[in-house]
Amino acid sequence: AQTVTQSQPEMSVQEAETVTLSCTYDTSENNYYLFWYKQPPSRQMILVIRQEAYKQQNATENRFSVNFQKAAKSFSLKISDSQLGDTAMYFCAPLYNNNDMRFGAGTRLTVKP
Amino acid sequence: DAGITQSPRHKVTETGTPVTLRCHQTENHRYMYWYRQDPGHGLRLIHYSYGVKDTDKGEVSDGYSVSRSKTEDFLLTLESATSSQTSVYFCAISERPGGLSPEQYFGPGTRLTVT
């Protein structure tokens, strides 16, 4: 089974601080994509960032960046300068064989003022 | 935001009744997906479509069927709803899963309760 593990069910961070969310996955695939999605209380799934497995350079998107370690099958998300609007569930999601997207159980992040 | 709508947004139905959920997109994307979201499981793929009349099963397809007669519409049917199908259902679309645009964009979700 291509499992995805998010080992932190809940996390909290002070506004303006930095927080890192962890994700590990298990696959025998060599080429795939990795995504982080955010789900605020509105329930809408919002794409945060993506990473191609064949790229060694870590993706960044404004305050969001990833630490991708392919050999370790690790894909963590770092949020810098946390804002109240970052409060949400965050899901790690590898995409295999173009259409097989697997999701972790999520990390509930609370940003405290 | 990607132009994806789902209908209905909420539905309560009784065990044994048929239910159809609709996903409509205005982006002309070829690929469409149905997921369910349950506590502790994240999202799990039910079925997906790679073109009109072309569909395939996902991780949790038992008890569900799908149809796609037009590019913009993807229907999910529960032939005889069971309480285990109480969930939040999400539709997603993708332009080129194997190319430069592999991202999936999600609709707002449908909360289905089977009593």
Question: What's the number of domains chain B is made of?
Answer: 1
pLDDT one-digit tens code per residue, B24-60: 999 999 999 999 999 877 899 999 999 999 999 999 9
Chain A positions touching B108 (Cβ under 8 A) are: 43-44
Instruction: Compute and round to an integer the Cα radius of gyration of chain A.
Output: 13
CA gap B74, B53 in Å, rounded: 10
* Tens digit of each residue's pLDDT (9 = 90 or more) over A22-50: 999 999 888 899 999 999 999 999 999 99
Question: What pLDDT, on a 0 to 100 scale, did the predictor assign at position B2?
Answer: 64
The answer, for A13 touching chain B at a CB cutoff of 8 Å, is: no
Residue of B84, B86, B89, B85 lying closest to B107 (CA atoms): B89
> How distant, in Å, are the alpha carbons of A59, A83, A94, B41 from that of A9?
24, 20, 18, 12
Which residue in A33, A92, A111 sits closest to B102, CA to CA? A33
Q: In CATH, which superfamily holds the domain spanning A4-112?
A: Immunoglobulins (2.60.40.10)
Closest by Cβ to B102, choosing from A33, A43, A103: A33
Enclosing domain of residue B11: 4-114
Can you tell me the distance from the alpha carbon of A21 to that of A104, in angstroms, rounded to the nearest whole number? 12
Select the residue of A45, A95, A106 nearest B106 (Cβ to Cβ): A45
Closest residue in A to B88 (Cα) is A43
In single-letter form, the type of residue at position B32 comes to M
